[in-house]
Structure 1
Amino acid sequence: MLLLVVLIVWTPAILLAVALILARLTGCEVNEARSNPCRVAGLDIGGLLHTMMVTGWLVIPLLPVMALTLIGGVVAGGLALFGIWRP
């Protein structure tokens, strides 16, 4: 259940990063204002890149929850390391 919450919270940030990486690799222009044509292997993925880019705006209200998941991950990792290193 907790993994599902983390996945849902981090999805907009992941989609934004993937859109920016794909745009950089394909040489396409992507922005929030409008969808630009972007041909890759005969397909226009400009609309998809635009949609993925706009979902990045959901990161702003989700930042507190994202921070909590990061803190929880660090604490869980620290506890796991302490449990392993404990004689």
Structure 2
Amino acid sequence: MNAKKRKMKLPIIAVICSLFFSVLPLISVMVAGAIANVKHCLLDEGAVNPCIIFGVDVGDILYSMLVFGWLMLVSLPLGSVLTIISVAWLLFVMIQNYYYRKALPEEK
């Protein structure tokens, strides 16, 4: 039974990783925007603007996080395909486990 649990873990991890890969640039943009919004800093893709947090200028980091959002042009389509493949794999393993358990003799 432990081997069956191990078989299920890998497709579940693949689904989670593919979803995380596809939305990681979006998360980066949202975090950068939230930080800039809370600190009332100007954040745009045109130039690096100063943003002082605890005496440190994090404008470069926020700008990099914002521009990282352009990676969504690649990560969303590729992540969607990877997610579809990993969900199909998970469904295949679940169906395989169902029929394997159905074929086992019942214990009394």
* TM-score normalised to structure 1 length: 0.69
Give the match's secondary structure for 2:68.
Answer: helix
Find the partner of 2:36 among 23, 40, 62.
23
- Establish whether residue 38 from structure 1 lines up as the match of residue 60 from structure 2: no
Instruction: Check conservation: 2:21, 2:79, Cα contact below 8 A.
Output: no
Find the partner of 1:14 among 27, 47, 54.
27
* Cα displacement string for residues 11-69 of structure 1 (whole angstroms, at most 9, x for unaligned residues): 00000011111111000011112211110110111011000000111112333345565
Which structure has the larger Rg over C-alpha atoms? 2
Opposite residue 30 of structure 1, the aligned amino acid is L
Task: Figure out how many residues of one structure are paired with residues of the other and give that number.
Answer: 72
Give the match's secondary structure for 1:22.
Answer: helix
Gaps of 5+ in 1: 73-87
Give the Cα–Cα distance (whole angstroms) in 2 for the partners of residues 38 and 18 of structure 1. Answer: 14
Give the Cα–Cα distance (whole angstroms) in 2 for the partners of residues 17 and 66 of structure 1. Answer: 18
Give the match's secondary structure for 2:41.
Answer: coil
* TM-score normalised to structure 2 length: 0.57
